[in-house]
Structure 1
């Protein structure tokens, strides 16, 4: 499909009560193409009044949606999965246009995001309860699982479909209504998803989508006691602040916050496997992924060989507009992201690090785009900021260790604990390292990690709760104890 035609037909209004409507006063904000910095389109900019109108709509729909038969909810989610599959090429292109990501990565995300609707379509009919006799024999204990109620979700820009899908799908499966605020950088994908869910048969009012230029226009709803669940993916500081506000009404909260993932390459690792896995663990989405490998901790005996292999890989990757033929990675999300990555690299170089790959962009890239070259750094000093901060860009920073104890100490020397990667050909060794690393998720001898059928989430300051897997639907259910005389 022609990109301009796709942008023109994509929904751009607030999605409230099953309709796309203008914002209060007709306010809009611009969405930019990261490939060249041009304006793609304008989208309705929701005000606080718009957000409260949307909250009214999902609250009004809550009781009827909770009473809807689980099988009916399941079939709507299944139909959404099928529609996303039918429109995968169109949706992948839309994502690439507003996010800048290589088209192959966008296509992968569409498949990944759609799977949450299939998974939770199956989970919708499986909530479990309890029926047992009390220990003293005087009563029967009944435990029922019921939807928590209206939910508020705030999603990030880097996975505009999947981050929303893994919140929306379990909420709907559980019988909860939801209001979603997508990131202002990438609102088009979420509005497209709202259209798909409407076509799949979702009743009016069950889902609302309110893009906003000011996130506070929507997060202000945390002062409303009708919101019973808040789910957020984004920066640690913002998530913690909003969770503290949600605590004012004792809302159920789940958070997926910052990551600083270690990538441990042990002495007994298959170095070809470990190096090739960088293409996914680091370079998917140009490194703008919450679970992206951040700190490459490599045994000193294999560090030179591993780094040479990674440098060869990184140097071979093609940068360009995400829609370009053969492009491996596209631009970053904005000038702010380019400045962040540049600052971390420059700090490391100023303190004595060596740059093996990177430094210059190839000729022929569109002017105005937010590009940063694939970069490999080594000989990093201990005080380099890049070892202690999430990069969110296409940079491999290699540090070394001499013993497992040192590797684990370095891996855990962060307040974050979202994801980790461990490479060792000895499974016992690999599992021992995985068990000691403080992270909610660990990939062994592979660069891919996420799976809709598995629980996604972190420990320490990387968040609360889990999304996906059997656990995901329970974030949207409350257990009710009913005592019955015997």
Structure 2
């Protein structure tokens, strides 16, 4: 179902999208597939709603979000199970995602009250200067399949808190998760038109979101390639944009690091979600002196990870999203083999008792080097290549990717070194001895070709506000 102007509806054309389980290949459901007409309807609905929603107090907007949070908590298991069925994430991880999604709603329910302006000291005694922060207007949000609930709330919650209205296009492979989240918006009594859901293919919906003059803001999470196209398409109407794009995260392990903690860090940053996250570790750099010990420990832990259908108990690694994703992982591993990489564990498709699923064995590749594809391209799969380095100067040079700059991780017991790495790593997010740095109250976003703007924290709401400078002459 689509959700436009506070009502659930089928597509005008009657078209549907088949949603399948990547673990089994089974059909989950068919959902309405909207296109250009429905997108225009949603934009017009959001435009009409904006006229009144922008005047609603921050306190009241926060109250609505608090109701959304309550509804989502009541559907925690239901939404999590939907995520697992649609994209394969193990159920406990899916529950953690939903809790993360709720944390963004909670944060912006409070932040809605804090859209502060400024009083600027005047340079003339007869003037009063101030800066107002006002909602930008209708926002188009495009979200990915790998976090089909939390990416929605990370965009919609700050937009609503700021006073904007939204048209959301979720990934066509995970639309039911979006429907479940929007059920919570509906049940919370959000006014008609404030949040709209249009499901369908990018070729039909995207051009309206990027080129329609009434859409004043575009927020996107996805690949750098698609992000660049959306930027080009949005140029004619000079939209404000925020983009969270691809990453190629290094994880650096110095000789003084706690090896067990670093191994656990790789497990968390590489194999959760089957490596299908933009902040996944793509390159594991280990100091020469500890490389052998580290590699053995990592391979031992990775070989113990259980692969399977995420709805079953005890599964650590679920399927990849589709056959194309599986083939990309295969090609990266084969290329590493051709370049003399040594596969310590994994290294092939996993069938087990799920022959129709898109599974790849959790893999560790030793003796990786910079000539391999995996050293330059985002793998988006459960493969950890281990590189070695000699000293700090070398690793700073190698860890800083020419194009990507989303997340980086570093393990060391040396406080001074940690501070140096914090400054030298050219990434929007840096975790020092911390593989889980993402929280609702802090900004999330990359630099270079990994993104524009921030999500989360007070920065996240600022992305949906425009500054208006007012100068008042107070004399006669």
Structure 1 residue 272: Cα displacement? 0.6
Structure 1 residue 383: Cα displacement? 0.9
- Equivalent position of 1:27 in the other structure: 15
Structure 1 residue 257: Cα displacement? 0.4
- Any residues of structure 2 matched to 1:187-198 within 5 Å, and which? 187-198=175-186
Q: Alignment partner of 1:416: what SS?
A: coil
**Equivalent of 1:287 in 275, 279, 287:** 275
Alignment root-mean-square deviation, CA: 1.2
- Equivalent position of 2:253 in the other structure: 265
* 197-206 or 174-183, which deviates more: 197-206
- Any residues of structure 2 matched to 1:77-476 within 5 Å, and which? 77-360=65-348, 364-476=352-464
Runs (4 or more) in structure 1 with deviation over 6 Å come to: none
List alignment gaps of at least 5 residues for structure 2.
none
- Any residues of structure 2 matched to 1:69-84 within 5 Å, and which? 69-84=57-72
* 341-350 or 363-372, which deviates more: 363-372
CA contact (8 A) 1:288 1:392 kept: yes
CA contact (8 A) 1:279 1:447 kept: no
Q: Alignment partner of 2:435: what SS?
A: coil
Q: TM-score, normalised by structure 1?
A: 0.96
> For residues 348 and 362 of structure 1, do their structure 2 counterparts lie closer, same or farther at Cα, with a shift above 3 Å needed?
closer
Q: Alignment partner of 2:54: what SS?
A: helix
Question: Is 1:482 aligned with 2:470?
Answer: yes
Structure 1 residue 359: Cα displacement? 2.9
Q: Alignment partner of 2:215: what SS?
A: coil
Q: Alignment partner of 1:302: what SS?
A: helix
How many residue pairs get aligned? The number is: 474
Structure 1 residue 468: Cα displacement? 0.3
Cα distance in 2 for partners of 1:332, 1:387 equals 20
CA contact (8 A) 1:298 1:400 kept: yes
Structure 1 residue 279: Cα displacement? 2.0
- Equivalent position of 1:6 in the other structure: none
Structure 1 residue 430: Cα displacement? 1.3
CA contact (8 A) 2:139 2:164 kept: yes
> For residues 421 and 322 of structure 1, do their structure 2 counterparts lie closer, same or farther at Cα, with a shift above 3 Å needed?
same
- Equivalent position of 2:53 in the other structure: 65
CA contact (8 A) 1:457 1:467 kept: yes
1:358-400: CA deviations, max 9, x gaps? Answer: 0355663312100000000011233110011111111110001
Cα distance in 2 for partners of 1:51, 1:207 equals 13
